[in-house]
Amino acid sequence: MIRLLLAGAISMVVSLFGTKALITWLTSRQIGQPIRDDGPQEHKVKAGTPTMGGLAIVAGAVSGYVISDLIGGIYTRTGILVMLAIIGGGGVGLMDDWIKVVAHRNLGLNKRAKMLGLVIVAVGFAFLVTEFTNVPTTLSFTRWDSPGWELGRIGWMVWALLLIAATTNAVNLTDGLDGLAAGSGIFGFSAFGVICFWQFRHLDFYDNPHALDLAVVAIAMVGGIVGFLWWNAAPAQIFMGDTGSLAIGSGLAALALTTNTQLLLPIIGGLFVMETVSVILQVIVFRRCGGRRLFRMAPINHHFELSGWPETTVIVRLWIMSGLCTGVGLGLFYADAIAAGITA
């Protein structure tokens, strides 16, 4: 428990002050986020807001993880690999953000280059996990043997690639309002903190010897995002950029894979799923119905804005929805434990 508290506290402090330093540095050099022309007109005033705030999230999480383990714990291969996945996803996003601000345009890396970067991160993570850890290669919901369909090493690596790619893109799509992705990320990583600690308490049942170290990773990410959210809350003084959204997405997917809760992730991250599905439906309807639109704008958070909801109202209501999804996911996880006779 001390390790978890240390990780969260150190990460939050580093991120809190790191984000402020980043705002000052970026502002002094007039490095800011371009705003897309086809977005809500109210967002035009946000042009020039410092971006790449995800650097502070990642730096905070890495600091919290490293220092807490030096003081009160032992590193595990699985925990290190999850943290490397977070750093890798953030690195791909950083390249994308840097191109945007240097070229003064809303598009950074092209789609192929960004996806190639994520593929390298995902395949590298999956290969190292299957090579150097004992993570089961099964398709799982709440534990490795539920439903426990064996995918084999290659199948599990492909599944890991798909999950990381889907989750990073889903978080990236959700990052359209001040604090929306950050707040939702806090819910997601908090859920995995609980799941990992529960698995640590019941090692014989879940067969996850690295669960405590994974809990440290999850709580370190919570602390990093909380420190960043202090400055990212509406009206945002800094955006996380793709640096933050891809790091968060990579971390959530990597934790789901290493805790054997891959199929539980879409429930815990229900808001991210909703945002992604809204974009998919918008494209399908537009192409199949002669240019008609299902929503006023996608992802759906912009639809609510254009329907007259103030931005802060949209953010808070979607946070509530994200919290409810997290609660349902944890409820299903705990219900499975109860059904198996574990209650404490």
pLDDT at 41: 54
Task: Give the model's confidence band at 238: pLDDT under 50 very low, under 70 low, under 90 confident, else very high.
Answer: very high
| Angle value at C-alpha 328, between 54 and 81, nearest 5 degrees | 40
Token pair 């819910």 is at which residue? 187
pLDDT at 315: 96
pLDDT at 262: 97
Residue-averaged pLDDT of the chain: 91
pLDDT at 14: 98
Rg (CA), the chain: 19
Reference 35, options 171, 176, 169; nearest CA is 176
Grouping H, G, I as helix, E, B as strand and the rest as coil, residue 299 is: coil
**Partner residues linked to 139 by β-bridges:** 149
Q: Is the model's pLDDT at 106 over the cut of 70?
A: no
pLDDT at 313: 96
Percent of the chain having pLDDT more than 90? 74
Q: CB within 8 A of 173, min separation 6: which ones?
A: 272, 275, 276, 279, 299
The domain spans of the chain are 2-339
CA–CA gap between residue 229 and residue 13 (Å, rounded): 12
Q: Which residue has the higher pLDDT, 314 or 110?
A: 314
CA–CA gap between residue 40 and residue 203 (Å, rounded): 49
Q: Can you tell me the mean pLDDT for 174-193?
A: 96
Q: Which residue has the higher pLDDT, 344 or 277?
A: 277
pLDDT single digits (tens) 53-84: 999 999 999 999 999 988 767 789 999 999 99
pLDDT at 177: 92
Q: Is the model's pLDDT at 40 over the cut of 80?
A: no
Q: Which tokens in the block code for residue 265?
A: 């992730």
Percent of the chain having pLDDT more than 70? 93
Task: Give the model's confidence band at 115: pLDDT under 50 very low, under 70 low, under 90 confident, else very high.
Answer: very high
Task: Give the model's confidence band at 44: pLDDT under 50 very low, under 70 low, under 90 confident, else very high.
Answer: low
Task: Give the model's confidence band at 292: pLDDT under 50 very low, under 70 low, under 90 confident, else very high.
Answer: confident
Handedness of CA 270, 299, 321, 115 (dihedral sign): positive
pLDDT single digits (tens) 300-331: 999 999 999 999 999 999 999 999 999 999 99
Task: Give the model's confidence band at 94: pLDDT under 50 very low, under 70 low, under 90 confident, else very high.
Answer: very high
Task: Give the model's confidence band at 108: pLDDT under 50 very low, under 70 low, under 90 confident, else very high.
Answer: low
pLDDT at 148: 87
